[in-house]
Every structure is written in C-alpha cells, then in structure tokens.
C-alpha cells in the first residue's frame, strides 16, 4: 500500500514523511517539547515560591515613619570599668554601655581572646588581686571562665588559641575564689 502525501506535509531530512517514522520517532519529537514545558512549569513554581517568601510592601516601613530609637546606654559594672582601665581600653567604656550586663563578661572575654596584650595586662591585674587579698572579683572569675570556654572551642571562633603559658595563668585564676568587688576593695592594703 502506497502512502499518499497529505497537503502541507513535508518530508524530513531523510526524505520520509512524518507518518513513515513510526512510534519511536514520534516520542523522540515530543520529548524535547515535554522537557521545555517541564522547565517552564518549574520556573513558574520557583518564581512563585520566591515571591511568597519576599516581604510584602505593606510590611516595609513607610518613608515618613520614624526609625525606632537605638538601645539606651546604661551604667556599666564597676568591675568592667576596672578591667577596661587595667587593660588600657578605657575608650571602650561607652561601647560596653550598650552591652547588657549579662553579656558584658563574655564580650570582654572575647576582646581579651583576640588581644594578647590586653590579656596579659588583665592577668597581671588578677594575679595582683589574688596576691593581695587571696581572691579575685566574681566578675573577673566569670571572664576567666569564659576564656577557658573559648579556648576549648578555639577552632569554632576561627582565631589563634591562647599560648600555653598564658592559658595556664588563665586556668589558675579561673580556679581562684571569687568575691564581690566591694569585699575585694576592702581587703586591699
């Protein structure tokens, strides 16, 4: 049986009509079209998901709305003031005024961990207090304990660790008895 050519049907590069290619050729022709449609649907879904995650324009503050005031500066712990003076970082007292009292110890320990000169000066102050009164302030003890904790996780911080000699001094002071600053000041000669 001879196939007749339909009007408008064109022969392919191999000289055959599309109907002469059989079912495999028809599937092969539809696959790129199906893949293109799949990509278009995925692109639409991705765009819709991103648009849903984006905050709406109503959630944005209007240009006439005043910005909230920054946190108020507060009084800082006297032990922190003493530590800042001992480490020659008095200029940071204003910055620590914006740090809550609960976070001041860890923040100061982080400063000491990153500044070896300040750490040496703080150790010198702690050793002098221990020699004169047999104790250190509770706040200083807390800072030394934070330094021990930071040192044990130094790889997480991403900075060099404290040298062994300095760390021995830190651990010694972290084990010293801690007393309130007022008691420590009364005990000094």
Query: Three-class SS of residue 28?
Result: helix
The verdict on 137 and 45 lying in the same domain is no
Give, as one character, the DSSP assignment of residue 20: G
Tell me the pairing of strands 136-137 and 178-179: parallel
**Dihedral sign from CA coordinates of 86, 87, 91, 93:** negative
The verdict on 41 and 96 lying in the same domain is no
In a domain, 121, yes or no: yes
**Average of per-residue pLDDT across 121-129:** 94
In a domain, 35, yes or no: yes
Which neighbouring-strand residues pair with 179?
Answer: 137
Report the pLDDT value the prediction gives residue 12, as an integer from 0 to 100.
65
pLDDT of 65-105, one tens digit each?
Answer: 665 555 666 778 898 999 999 999 999 988 888 888 889 99
Whether the predicted pLDDT of 116 surpasses 80: yes
The verdict on 29 and 97 lying in the same domain is no
Cβ–Cβ contacts within 10 Å for residue 93, how many?
Answer: 13
Alpha-carbon distance 6 to 32, whole Å?
25
In a domain, 14, yes or no: no
In a domain, 9, yes or no: no
Task: Choose between 160 and 55: higher pLDDT.
Answer: 160
**Average of per-residue pLDDT across 135-139:** 93
**What percent of the chain stands above pLDDT 90?**
34
Domains of the chain: total: 2
The verdict on 170 and 109 lying in the same domain is yes
Whether the predicted pLDDT of 120 surpasses 90: yes
E strand residue ranges, the chain? 136-137, 178-179
The verdict on 45 and 82 lying in the same domain is no
Give, as one character, the DSSP assignment of residue 186: H
Average pLDDT, the chain: 76
pLDDT of 3-41, one tens digit each?
Answer: 565 565 566 666 776 666 665 555 555 555 555 555 554
pTM summary value: 0.60
In a domain, 67, yes or no: no
Whether the predicted pLDDT of 54 surpasses 70: no
In a domain, 119, yes or no: yes
Q: Band of the pLDDT at 57, cuts 50, 70, 90?
A: very low
In a domain, 5, yes or no: no
pLDDT of 105-115, one tens digit each?
Answer: 999 999 999 89
In a domain, 149, yes or no: yes
The verdict on 87 and 178 lying in the same domain is yes
- Per the structure, the complete domain to which residue 30 belongs is given by 19-49
């Amino acid at each position: 049986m001879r196939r007749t050519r339909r009007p408008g049907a064109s022969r392919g590069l191999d000289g055959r009509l599309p109907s002469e290619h059989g079912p495999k050729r028809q599937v092969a022709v539809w696959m790129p079209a199906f893949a293109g449609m799949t990509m278009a649907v995925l692109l639409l879904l991705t765009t819709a998901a991103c648009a849903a995650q984006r905050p709406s324009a109503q959630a944005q503050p209007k240009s006439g709305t005043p910005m909230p005031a920054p946190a108020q500066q507060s009084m800082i712990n006297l032990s922190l003031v003493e530590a800042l003076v001992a480490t020659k970082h008095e200029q940071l007292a204003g910055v620590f005024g914006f740090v809550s009292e609960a976070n001041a110890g860890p923040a100061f320990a982080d400063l000491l961990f990153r500044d070896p000169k300040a750490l040496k000066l703080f150790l010198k102050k702690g050793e002098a207090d221990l020699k004169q009164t047999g104790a250190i302030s509770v706040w200083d003890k807390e800072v030394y304990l934070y330094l021990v904790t930071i040192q044990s996780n130094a790889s997480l911080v991403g900075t060099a660790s404290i040298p062994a000699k300095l760390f021995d001094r830190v651990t010694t002071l972290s084990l010293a008895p801690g007393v309130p600053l007022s008691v420590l000041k009364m005990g000094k000669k």
